[in-house]
């Protein structure tokens, strides 16, 4: 059943515009004591021979940092929907150690999800040398511009290991601001967005042409709280794979959405530095990336580590949760 439409503009901490952050500190800076705890926890993991995905927070003790991470998680879920953690020196660690650190921090934030048919809990966002014309190429596998979109989890995290030679800037889009403008301009199209669209599994399903058998709302309302899920590439690919065209009303709704998510006032740009960790609420902000150019040497290629995390307090509407909270590993297994 379709959710009741929110007929009043969204207010509160989840609504913001870029101007709200002029002169405002929105980064969390790790302190020397935090870094010492991370280093000690990493050393303990390595002594015991534990591997990524094979340990929890009890194996990665962070007594001083733990309450800070809990506050950051609360801010992401119930506040502005994002945080940037700065202060980890990526040059002090190899990639495998950064993976262990990132997973260890993630155990304090939520439960990791499989991000592909192989069930990988942590993926490398880098150039994978896949034919760009492959209809099932995933956004994290190539260098092209990534339009604002959501992923399949409650929280999405990116740890920057290496920057690109040029480009690759990150940005986030506030969906409350987008919704309020959509409501102001075309409230008649909101029923289409609350009904939603079928989405493409991008080759991670039972076969390369798999799409969702149900529609996923772009906008949903649970107890007066707006939840959003949007990805233009997934929607357009599904129309092609299903061999159908959008109705004129659907096209008008999608075109307006594509216009609004590119409004500069609704976007916050971030220049991720090596060691930075970006955490976003997958239901209140979209994330995007500009196209980038790599160095010639593969060992210098742009590299980010990505985590998908589910959080018990997130509680998205079932109409969206049945898609986003499964992870691609479950999709591939047909569960």
For residue 315, what pLDDT is reported? 81
For residue 210, what pLDDT is reported? 73
How much is the average pLDDT of 218-222? 95
For residue 335, what pLDDT is reported? 38
pLDDT confidence of 81, banded at 50, 70, 90?
very high
Task: Tell me the pTM.
Answer: 0.90
**Average pLDDT value over all residues in the chain:** 89
On the question of pLDDT at 204 being above 60, the answer is: no
Residue 53 exposed, middle or buried by CB count within 10 Å (0-12, 13-18, 19+): middle
pLDDT confidence of 327, banded at 50, 70, 90?
low
How much is the average pLDDT of 25-39? 96
Alpha-carbon distance of 334 to 206, in angstroms, equals 7
- Cβ atoms of residues 244 and 29 within 8 Å: no
Extract the tokens encoding 260.
């609004």
Alpha-carbon distance of 154 to 315, in angstroms, equals 9
Alpha-carbon distance of 335 to 333, in angstroms, equals 6
- Percent of the chain's residues with pLDDT above 70: 89
pLDDT digits (tens, 9 = 90+) for 105-161: 999 999 999 887 778 899 998 865 555 555 555 555 567 768 899 998 999 999 999
On the question of pLDDT at 256 being above 90, the answer is: yes
For residue 333, what pLDDT is reported? 42
How much is the average pLDDT of 307-314? 92
For residue 292, what pLDDT is reported? 76
Alpha-carbon distance of 76 to 83, in angstroms, equals 7
For residue 132, what pLDDT is reported? 58
The least confident of 55-64, 176-185, 238-247 is 238-247
Give domain 26-332's CATH number out of 3.60.130.10, 3.20.20.10, 3.30.1330.30, 3.90.850.10. Answer: 3.60.130.10
The least confident of 56-65, 259-268, 302-311, 320-329 is 320-329
In eight-state DSSP terms, residue 316 is -
For residue 130, what pLDDT is reported? 53
What is the pairing mode between strands 292-293 and 155-162? unpaired
**Distance of alpha carbon 199 from the chain centroid:** 16
Strand partners, 174: 285
For residue 128, what pLDDT is reported? 56
Alpha-carbon distance of 329 to 112, in angstroms, equals 12
- Cβ atoms of residues 38 and 65 within 8 Å: yes
Q: Spell out the residues 6+ positions from residue 151 whose beta carbon is closer than 8 angstroms to its own.
A: 282, 287, 308, 324
On the question of pLDDT at 224 being above 80, the answer is: yes
**Cα–Cα nearest to 275, from 158, 105, 121:** 158
Alpha-carbon distance of 218 to 320, in angstroms, equals 9
For residue 334, what pLDDT is reported? 42
How much is the average pLDDT of 58-87? 97
On the question of pLDDT at 264 being above 50, the answer is: yes
Give 2-5's long-range contacts (Cβ < 8 A, gap of 24+). Answer: 2/191, 2/194, 2/195, 2/217, 3/194, 3/217, 3/220, 3/221, 3/222, 3/317, 3/319, 4/221, 5/190, 5/191, 5/194, 5/219, 5/221
On the question of pLDDT at 240 being above 80, the answer is: yes
How much is the average pLDDT of 84-89? 97
For residue 64, what pLDDT is reported? 98
pLDDT digits (tens, 9 = 90+) for 173-201: 999 999 999 999 999 999 999 999 998 87
């Amino acid at each position: 059943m379709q959710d009741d439409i929110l007929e009043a503009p969204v207010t509160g901490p989840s609504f913001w515009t870029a101007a709200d952050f002029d002169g405002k500190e929105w980064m969390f800076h790790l302190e020397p004591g935090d870094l010492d705890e991370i280093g000690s926890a990493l050393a303990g993991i390595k002594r015991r021979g534990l591997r990524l995905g094979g340990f929890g927070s009890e194996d990665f003790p962070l007594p001083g940092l733990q309450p800070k991470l809990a506050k950051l998680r609360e801010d992401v879920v119930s506040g502005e929907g994002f945080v940037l953690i700065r202060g980890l020196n990526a040059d002090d660690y190899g990639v495998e150690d950064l993976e262990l650190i990132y997973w260890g921090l993630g155990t304090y934030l939520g439960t990791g999800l499989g991000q592909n048919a192989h069930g990988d809990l942590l993926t490398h966002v880098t150039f994978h040398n896949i034919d760009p014309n492959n209809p099932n190429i995933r956004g994290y596998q190539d260098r092209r511009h990534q339009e604002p979109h959501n992923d399949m989890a409650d929280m999405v995290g990116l740890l920057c290991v290496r920057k690109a030679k040029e480009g690759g800037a990150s940005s986030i889009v506030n969906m409350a601001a987008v919704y309020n403008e959509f409501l102001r301009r075309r409230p008649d199209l909101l029923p289409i967005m609350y009904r939603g669209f079928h989405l493409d599994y991008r080759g991670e399903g039972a076969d390369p042409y798999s799409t969702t058998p149900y529609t996923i709302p772009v906008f949903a309302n649970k107890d007066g709280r707006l939840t959003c899920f949007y990805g233009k590439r997934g929607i357009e690919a599904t129309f092609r794979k299903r061999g159908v065209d959008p109705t004129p009303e659907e096209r008008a709704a999608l075109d307006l959405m594509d216009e609004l998510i590119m409004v500069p006032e609704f976007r916050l740009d971030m220049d991720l530095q090596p060691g930075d960790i970006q955490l976003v609420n997958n239901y209140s902000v979209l994330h995007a990336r500009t196209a980038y150019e790599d160095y010639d040497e593969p060992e210098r290629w742009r590299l980010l580590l990505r985590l998908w995390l589910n959080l018990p307090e997130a509680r998205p509407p079932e109409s969206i949760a049945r898609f986003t909270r499964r992870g691609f590993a479950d999709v591939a297994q047909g569960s």
